[in-house]
Structure 1
């Protein structure tokens, strides 16, 4: 959210609700702009506005129903209706299903792609609700992370099963169909899912997967600092890249020299 008109309306709502003072929001506007951060995220991260108050203000601004996940018991069985990677990518938790309608809690209600993608996956009418991002993150950590293996464990399993077979030269010669097949292989999906979930757990702002000459380097940016993490094998570089492109609806055939 970066449009001045949008910011003004949201700030007016926050002030009217007593969530922040006019001086606080004006100071926050300037500092968020200087830092290049989204204003609503900056207000919460810096403790100017409580997460629940921000969610309520966003719900009013966007004309969506709010939801407080701490006062709501999520059906764990319903979590299986969406892929874990989708929930992690879009910061979304399915909370209730009523016939052909699926109510979902959105940690980022400005994610305009989320509703369309959820509808495409489930075939259901999606009813978005605004939840505090911190609460969505907690649920993702609790339910998604608990059912997702750690990256180190996955890499160990891959090595023991001898599932890494492609050399770099073979990757470069792969056809589009072969790239798609490799991107959908179970080890690659497990690795990418684990990388994303770990990023959520660490509250990382960026995830860097850097191709080096003989290896890959995986790093998470947390509070402006890059921290190195156990990295996937170099042989899976192409498959991991293709998997991430598929998740982002990008053209996997496009390669940069």
Structure 2
């Protein structure tokens, strides 16, 4: 992206924020002056946030509008661990990107720099997919990165109980002396593996209850 293009979009973001009534023209001028005083080491949006004129969500929504991409508020429910591992964990953390879902050959990726054409092209090469960008805040990206482990350590219920008949369910009553034994027992059968993992995790975390909630279809 050229300097001219960067300036154009920077001003456009400011204009969008003003049009939305989130900031005033005077605040834009003050932020531009402050940005210059800081040696142009920060983006205008970052300066606006630092000055308390607007929230990170407000800036990102305006940035998304400026670059013609969707804006989203990330929650853990939007993330599929298997799709997230389309990109290596180190790469996700370094570039603050989260693959969200894949439809055919189109990979939707959440990022806080929707203007970074070079990063988008690199992800497209790495995944051999067409990349659809969703703009999100850096805080949301870090929240997801902090909450999710590698999908190899994640149990997906649909994968575990697929093709399991009703006969596979059985009631097991036994005294547990060492919770570590539950982890070793987890390979006996798909259903036992699932239930034991829930119990083991709950005991390990000191939980008093285990809640399993169905979604709209299951």
The reply to whether TM is greater than 0.5 is yes
CA offsets, 1:37-87, max 9 Å, x none?
Answer: 211222224432111111110111001111110385211221111011221
> What's the CA shift string for 1:113-168, capped at 9, x where partnerless?
211111111111110111112211222222269x9xxxxxxxxxxxxxxxxxxxxx
Paired residues of 1:104 and 1:128 also in contact (CA < 8 A): yes
Who is 1:57 aligned against? 62
Contact 1:19 1:50 (8 Å CA) reproduced? no
Out of 30, 39, 43, the residue aligned to residue 27 of structure 1 is: 30
**Inter-partner Cα distance in structure 2 for 1:82 and 1:26:** 40
* Matching residue of 2:117: 112
- Report SS of the residue matched to 2:53: coil
Root-mean-square deviation over aligned CA pairs: 2.4
The residue that corresponds to 1:15 in the other structure is 18
Q: How do 1:159-174 residues align onto structure 2 when only pairs under 5 Å count?
A: none
CA contact (8 A) 2:76 2:144 kept: no
Question: How many correspondences in the alignment?
Answer: 147
**What is the deviation of 1:21?**
1.8
Q: Is the 8 A contact 2:16 2:62 kept in 1?
A: yes
Q: 1:20: how far off?
A: 1.4
Give the drift of 1:28: 0.9
The residue aligned with 1:69 is 74
Larger Rg: 2
CA gap 1:22/1:70 in 2 versus in 1, 3 angstroms: farther
Q: Please give the alpha-carbon distance, in whole angstroms, between the structure 2 residues aligned to 1:53 and 1:128.
A: 18
Question: Are residues 69 and 52 of structure 1, via their aligned partners in 2, closer, same or farther at CA, if it must alter by over 3 Å?
Answer: same
Distance 1:84 1:31 in 2: 36
How far apart are the structure 1 equivalents of 2:107 and 2:115? Answer: 18
Cα distance in 2 between the residues matched to 1:136 and 1:106: 7
Query: C-alpha distance in 2, partners of 1:9/1:87?
Result: 28
Aligned residue number for residue 9 of structure 2 = 6
2:144 aligned partner: 139
CA contact (8 A) 1:90 1:111 kept: no
The DSSP-based 3-state class of the residue aligned with 2:75 is helix
Distance in structure 1 (CA, Å) of the matches to 2:55 and 2:77: 19
- CA distance change for structure 1 residues 140 and 44 in 2, over 3 Å: closer, same or farther? farther
Answering whether residue 89 of structure 2 is matched by residue 84 of structure 1, we say yes
TM-score (norm 1): 0.52
CA distance in structure 1 between the partners assigned to 2:22 and 2:76 by the alignment: 20
Is the 1:33–1:39 Cα contact (8 Å) retained in structure 2? no
Verify the 8 A CA contact 2:120 2:131 in the aligned structure 1: yes
Q: Distance in 2 between matches of 1:62 and 1:42?
A: 20
